[in-house]
């Protein structure tokens, strides 16, 4: 099981948000947003922030860092790390299973992620065999779209997806997010799209919109 940080906003949580960080960061990265999303005791939610394994990353000259999968390049047609995604899928599915064991139904679990973590959110969330409450994809993209039609889980055909991107993102251009959004919509998925005047980061407006989304999918 991945090492995680947990924050509970009130005793006896009845919902969980599992939030994956971006390349080179760790589970502490998004801890500060919790009080911006849920005020103390406003909801009884458990936020789970896992640490990605440390592995060599090709685009960083093979340097080892926390990463959910290897990145070989961002150019169109570049091979993707299929084995890395499959391994991480098992780890993240295990985190969902752990919440179910602790009494939170899968339909009360949201998967969330920023950048690399957002790609993992889409990979696992759309293939998970039980219905989830929602998916949150921040400044990210859909990995391996060619395999999705055959791999998608019918249970999550209607899962709400919150996608947000920075107009000025120099790391993952917004065009990657838009292409992913359009493909997901073409496959019948329910995508709520937001864009903000920001680089590869998060903004107060984005967190406010995310709060509204989470309160809707976790009533």
| The pair of three-digit structure tokens given for residue 148, joined into one six-digit string | 């999705």
Tokens 């990979």, residue? 123
H or E stretch covering 49: strand 45-50
Among this protein's residues, is 115 annotated catalytic?
Answer: yes
Candidate list 26, 200, 203, 209, residue with the active-site label? 200
Question: Alpha-carbon distance 162 to 194, whole Å?
Answer: 8
Torsion of CA 172, 174, 179, 183, to 10 degrees: 90
Q: What are phi and psi of 134, to 5 degrees?
A: 180, 165
**Active-site option among 115, 139, 140, 180:** 115
- What is the arrangement of strands in the sheet containing 134-138, beginning at the earlier edge strand? 4-8, 45-50, 15-20, 109-114, 134-138, 160-166, 190-196
Cβ atoms 25, 66 nearer than 8 A: yes
Lookup result for tokens 């299973």: 97
151 is catalytic: no
Q: Is 169 a catalytic residue?
A: yes
Q: Which DSSP helix (H) or strand (E) runs through 177?
A: helix 174-186
CA atoms 145, 151, 154, 160: torsion sign:
negative
Which sequence positions are flagged as catalytic?
Answer: 115, 169, 200
């Amino acid at each position: 099981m991945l090492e995680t940080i947990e924050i509970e906003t009130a005793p006896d949580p009845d919902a969980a948000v599992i939030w994956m960080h971006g390349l080179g960061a760790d589970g502490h990265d998004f801890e500060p947003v919790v009080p911006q999303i849920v005020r103390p005791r406003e909801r009884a939610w458990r936020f789970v922030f896992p640490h990605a394994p440390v592995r060599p990353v090709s685009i960083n000259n093979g340097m080892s860092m926390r990463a959910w999968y290897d990145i070989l390049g961002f150019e169109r047609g570049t091979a993707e790390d299929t084995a890395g995604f499959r391994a991480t899928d098992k780890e993240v599915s295990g985190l969902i299973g752990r919440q179910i064991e602790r009494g939170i139904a899968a339909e009360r679990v949201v998967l969330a992620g920023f950048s690399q973590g957002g790609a993992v959110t889409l990979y696992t969330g759309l293939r998970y065999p039980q219905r989830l409450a929602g998916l949150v994809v921040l400044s990210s993209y859909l990995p391996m779209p060619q395999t999705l039609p055959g791999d998608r889980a019918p249970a999550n055909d209607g899962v709400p997806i919150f996608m947000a991107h920075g107009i000025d993102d120099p790391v993952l251009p917004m065009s990657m997010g838009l292409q992913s959004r359009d493909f997901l919509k073409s496959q019948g998925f329910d995508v709520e799209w937001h864009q903000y005047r920001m680089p590869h980061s998060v903004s107060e407006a984005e967190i406010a919109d995310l709060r509204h989304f989470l309160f809707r999918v976790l009533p």
